[in-house]
Structure 1
Amino acid sequence: MASFTLQGIPVSRGITIGRAHLLRPAAMDVKHYLVAQEQVEAEVVRLQKAIAQVQLELQTIWSDLPTDAPTELGAFLDVHALILSDPMVSEAPLDIIRTRHYNAEWALVTQVDVLSAQFDEIEDEYLRERKADIQQVAERVLKVLTGTADQLPHVIGVDERNANMIVVAKDISPADMMQFRDVAFTGFVTDEGGPNSHTAIVSRSLGIPAVVGLGNASHLIVQDDWLIIDSDAGVVIVAPSPLVIAQYRDRQAALLKARKKLHKLKKTPAVSLDGIEVSLLANIELPEDAHAAMESGASGVGLFRSEFLFMGRTGVETQLPSEEEQFLAYRQAVQTMKGKPVTIRTLDVGADKPLDHNDHNILNPALGLRAIRYCLKEPQIFLTQLRAILRASAFGSVHILIPMIAHAFEIDQSLAMIQQAKDELRAEGIAFDDAVPVGAMIEIPAAALSLPMFVKRLDFLSIGTNDLIQYTLAIDRADHEVAHLYNDTHPAILQLLDMTVSAANKANIPVAICGGMAGDIKLTRLLIAMGFRELSMPSALLPEIKQEILNSNIAQLEPIAKKILRTYDPRLVQEMLRGMQGQQFT
């Protein structure tokens, strides 16, 4: 067989070599037929039994999780169980059977298609990829209905005939991943997914190479094909020659040696060669993620995206997470961090991330009623969350981060709401930290251009580079048609970053970067040379960023950073960045 290469999205680091094991989706060829009126209720019962069986399977898998399993797996299994019990998944297909007389499989796929279309309209990349949760839950039910559950080999060796297994699939659910714990799987290749898909998140937490978003890899790759995954480059080599395999084995050995060396840096502070310390923080989505943050040696949590406690609900206020539910989640993260600061971003939903899928701005959701705009319009939801966050502050170091602020009145109203929450808790005799720091996300150009009103009123700033780039360059980062224009080193972006760090330093308040730029090792030296001393990123990226800082001399990098800020030729900027990254210090 002739060798060929597939290009996808790299979501973890490393190289692996092995044979392909294909997982076929049950939903590819579901039967579509109408059932007779007298058979409708029997069809309803058939679907109900399948759903009940999957609920039991998920509970069993969760209870059998090994102690060394990534915390993300348990959290994702909980999410899948919640989705399966949601009426939009468990009840709506039954109505389709009763009203349209569709067979169970067809009714389920029809409803999932409706929900998937709603998720496709969400602008936020992470949340948009959460439609995979619904699809994976449905996939599991379909496997029960059709009797097509995938089976993995029980024994996998490492010899030429039975090599390490590389899983190839359209997509992989967290529950399916549990099938792999007893076999020697070494990599993932999927047609779908992105940087925040379950496959991406779990592969990063396990330290396993993965490439996703390959489109049609599961159709091009044949069972037992030899594969090489280069997850640094986002490349999958199919049927490589013996010479190519040998070359990659050498690279693989070198990477393994480097990874072991990085792990030894866990307790080492991120201090540059000229003695400047940089705080490396972790971004988390769920309270369970705090364990990975601690394991990576993070100095704290720089961004807890609290909206994931709210998503997947109908939007009816009584069905939103209660104050107690939120408090327990925040407290869990705070206690896990053992005194290290936890920065909780207040609810960032609305418009592109609707709590109610029937209520969102179809004209331009990125410019709609979202984040702090939504919270100030729904003060009771906001107040409930603030009370929960403040209650958690009695158990450790908590910072409150307000997203998408652009106006002075938004700052004033947010601070007033926080004060109201404090007054209520104080009157009720409930403990909280009265000195909780309050900061703002700098993610709108208007905010970066009016920093004096921020630094006078707030305790810290955090730059969300993903949205700042999107709004500054007028590029929807979810639109592949303009993705090539998304440029984190555009002169305008670098100028806004420089203005923000300068204003914060002048006012003597902390400023962090919590967007994607913070975890990009190609930009680490530029950011610290510009004056940033707090970077927040996914936990798995932290060790290599720390090593880059340990090998840097910030004083010697500063002149190059200043030169980059004066340069408007993108080719020269990239040339200087490469020079920065490769610079050796004595």
Structure 2
Amino acid sequence: MASFTLQGIPVSRGIAIGRAHLLRPAALDVEHYLVAQEQVEAEVLRLQAAIAQVHKELQSIWADLPQDAPTELGAFIDVHVLILSDPMVSEAPLDIIRSRHYNAEWALVTQVDELSAQFDEIEDEYLRERKADIQQVAERILKVLTGSANSVPRSDGIDERSANMIVVARDISPADMMQFRDVAFAGFVTDEGGQNSHTAIVSRSLGIPAVVGMGNASHLIEQDDWLIIDSDAGVVIVAPTSLVLEQYRERQVLLQKQRKKLGKLKKTPAITQDGVEVTLLANIELPEDAAHALDAGASGVGLFRSEFLFMERSGQEHKLPSEEEQFEAYRAAVLGMKGRPVTIRTLDVGADKPLDTTEHNILNPALGLRAIRYCLTEPQLFLTQLRAILRASAFGPVKILIPMMAHSFEIDQTLNLIAQAKKELQAESKEFDANVPVGAMIEIPAAALALPMFVKKLDFLSIGTNDLIQYTLAIDRADHEVAHLYDDLHPAILQLLHTIVTTAEKAEIPVSICGGMAGDVRLTRLLTGMGFRELSMPAALLPEIKQAILNTHLENVQPYVKKILRSYEPVVIRETLAAMEMLGQTVH
């Protein structure tokens, strides 16, 4: 077979070499036939039984999640449980069987096709992701109805390398992905998806190479083909020559040695060669992640995403966590960091993180009732969370971070509620730090352009680059059709970042970056050269970023940074960035 190369969207880092295992979806072009009137209720029962079995499977997968599983997986599986319980999926096909006498498979596919067509008309990140989820849930039901064999790969003993399997699929559901935990696999390749698809998020969490949004890879790649994933370049090489295979194996070994070497930097402070210290923090989702942050050498937690406490509540009918439950979680994270600061972001739900998939029905949730907007419409829910965070501050340094702020009244109302929470706790003789710093996430262009109203009233700023880029460039970062327009080096983004760090510096207010740009080693020198002294990222990325800082001399970097900020030509910006990255290539 002749070798060929496919290009997609890189969503994680590293190199994977292995055999292709094609994960075939249940065919949506199922058998169509009409059932007799006397058989209608039997057909209804058949579909109901299949739905019940899938529900049981999902609950079992959720219950069996290992402690080291990516925290996002529980939330994804919860969404599939909710979809399965939604009348549009669980009841509407039954009505089709009764009214049209369709067989169960035909009725289910008919309903899913109707839902998919509706979602296709609304170009929105959240709704499009729900379309993929609904199709994945339907495929699980169809596998039960048709008796399809489980298609999870198993090592077939072709040779000693056959255990290194690369999963190739149209898309991979989170439930299917969990079934891979007992199977050796090296990477993921999918036709669909963008930077924030399930496959992308989980592959980053697991540190496994992956390329998504490849179009028709699952049709071009054949079972057991040798594959190389170069996830840094977003490239998949199919049937590589022996020479190319050997070259990539050498690169793989080199990368493994580099990772081992980076681990030795854990206790080394992140100080540039000209003596400037940069604080490296970790992003966490759950209290137990604090241990990983410490192990990676984090100086604290720059972002505790508290919404996962609200979302991962399978079997609890999404009852909101009590103040006591939240307090125990926040306190565990604070104690786990052993005196290092923990920044807790208040509830950020809406858009792609609903508390309930049936809760809101708006055209564009990403621009709707989410984050602080949602919390201010639910003051009791917000007050309960603020009380829990304040109580946790009695056990170590805590900061409160408010997401998606853009208006002065949002700052005032938030500060009033924090003051109210403090008064209530004082009246109840409950301990807390009266001077807990309060900060805002800068992720809306309006906030970046109106910083004076933030720096006068708040203690610190944290930039969420993922949303800032999405909102500034008016593109959906999860849509593979426009993913190429998501550009963290767009002149508008760089100018906004420069404005923020300069304004914060003049106001003598701390500013950090907790979005994806903070964990991109290509941008480390640029960001530190612009003046950022706090970066927060997934714990696994800390060692590589630290090494880049240790090998940086900021005075040498400055001319390159100034040239980049003066330029509006993408080619010039990227060439200058590449030249800057060549500075000081000595290993620390």
Farther-moved stretch of structure 1 (320-329 vs 573-582)? 320-329
Alignment CA distance shift 1:81-1:229 (3 Å) = same
TM normalised by structure 1 equals 0.86
In structure 2, C-alpha distance between the alignment counterparts of 1:271 and 1:265, rounded to whole Å = 12
2 CA distance for matches of 1:330 and 1:128?
Answer: 33
* Residue in 2 that maps onto 1:275: 275
State the one-letter code of the partner of 1:51.
Answer: I
Give the SS at the match of 1:30. coil
| Closer, same or farther: CA 83–544 of 1 in aligned 2, 3 Å | farther
The equivalences for 1:139-288 within 5 A come to 139-152=139-152, 154-157=154-157, 159=159, 162=162, 164-285=164-285
Letter in 1 for 2:434: D
1:491 corresponds in structure 2 to 491
Q: Which moved more, 1:476-485 or 1:556-565?
A: 476-485
Q: Shift of the alpha carbon at 1:163? A: 6.3
Change beyond 3 A, Cα 1:294–1:144: farther
User: Matched residues, percent identical?
Assistant: 78
Measured after TM superposition, the shift of residue 583 of structure 1 is: 0.5
Task: Give the Cα–Cα distance (whole angstroms) in 2 for the partners of residues 557 and 525 of structure 1.
Answer: 7
Alignment of 1:381-530 (within 5 A): 381-477=381-477, 483-530=483-530
Q: Which runs of 5+ in 2 are unaligned?
A: none
5 Å-filtered alignment, 1:298-317, equals 298-308=298-308
Amino acid at match of 1:345: R
Q: Indicate the residue corresponding to 2:53 in structure 1.
A: 53
RMSD of Structure 2 on Structure 1 (CA): 3.6
Unaligned runs of 5+ in 1: none
Taking the aligned partners of 1:32 and 1:155, their CA distance within structure 2 comes to 36
Change (3 A) 1:352 1:323: same
Change in Cα spacing, 1:56 to 1:134, as seen in structure 2 (3 Å) is same
How far apart, in 2, do the equivalents of 1:235 and 1:490 lie?
23
* Counterparts of 2:561 and 2:270, CA distance in 1: 20
After superposition, where does 1:23-62 map in structure 2 within 5 Å?
A: 23-61=23-61
Shifted more, 267-276 versus 53-62: the winner is 53-62
Provide the TM-score with structure 2 as the length reference: 0.85
Give secondary structure in 1 for the equivalent of 2:159.
Answer: coil
Deviation (angstroms), 1:9: 1.6
Asked if the contact 2:194/2:477 (under 8 Å) is kept, the reply is no
- Is the 8 Å Cα contact of residues 491 and 565 (structure 1) preserved in structure 2? yes
* 1:11 is the counterpart of 2:8: no
Partner AA of 1:274 in structure 2: D
Q: Aligned to 1:584, what secondary structure does the other structure show?
A: coil
- Give the counterpart letter for 2:557 in structure 1: L
- Closer, same or farther: CA 44–255 of 1 in aligned 2, 3 Å: same
Distance (whole Å) between structure 2 residues aligned to residue 404 and residue 17 of structure 1: 41
| Partners of 2:292 and 2:505 in 1: CA distance | 30
Contact between 2:195 and 2:477, CA under 8 Å: does it hold in 1?
no
In terms of mean alpha carbon deviation, does 289-298 or 112-121 score higher?
112-121
Q: Contact conserved, 1:132 with 1:197, CA < 8 A, in 2? A: no
| Residue deviations 1:80-104 (CA, integer Å, cap 9, x gap) | 5565556665555555555665543
In the alignment, is the contact (CA less than 8 A) between 1:129 and 1:194 conserved in 2?
no
SS of residue paired to 1:29 = coil
Give 1:315-394 correspondences, 5 Å limit.
Answer: 323=323, 326-327=326-327, 330-331=330-331, 333-350=333-350, 359-362=360-363, 366-394=366-394
In terms of mean alpha carbon deviation, does 183-192 or 455-464 score higher? 183-192
Shift of 1:376: 2.6
Letter in 1 for 2:450: S
The within-5 A match list for 1:537-552 is 537-552=537-552
Q: Which moved more, 1:562-571 or 1:520-529?
A: 562-571
Q: Residue 220 of structure 2 aligns to which amino acid in structure 1?
A: L
Deviation at 1:513, TM superposition (A): 1.0
> For structure 1, which segment, 45-54 or 129-138, has the greater mean C-alpha deviation from structure 2 after superposition?
129-138
Quick one: which amino acid aligns to residue 296 of structure 1? A
Letter in 2 for 1:251: R
- State the secondary structure of the residue aligned to 2:573: helix
Partner secondary structure for residue 20 of structure 1: strand
Q: Report the alpha carbon displacement of residue 236 of structure 1 after superposing the two structures with TM.
A: 0.9
Alignment-mate amino acid for residue 7 of structure 1: Q
Alpha-carbon shift at residue 197 of structure 1 (Å): 2.9
Question: Given that residues 156 and 164 in structure 1 are in contact (C-alpha distance below 8 angstroms), is that contact kept between their aligned partners in structure 2?
Answer: no
Letter in 2 for 1:229: I
* Offset of residue 73 of structure 1: 5.1
Cα distance in structure 2, aligned partners of 1:466 and 1:491: 15
Paired residues, what number? 581
Task: Quote the residue 1:567 is aligned against.
Answer: 567
Whether contact under 8 Å (1:350, 1:360) holds in the other structure is no
* 2:51 alignment partner AA: I
Moved more, 58-67 or 181-190: 58-67
- Mark the CA change 1:435 to 1:258 in structure 2 (over 3 Å): closer, same or farther: same
Q: Which amino acid aligns with 1:554?
A: L
How far did 1:582 drift? Answer: 1.0
What secondary structure sits across from 2:399 in the alignment?
strand
Shift of 1:575: 2.1
The Cα shift of 1:257 comes to 1.5
Quick one: structure 1 residues 472 and 351, their matched pair in 2 at CA, closer, same or farther if it must change by over 3 Å? same
| Counterparts in 2 of 1:131 and 1:402: CA distance versus 1, 3 Å | farther
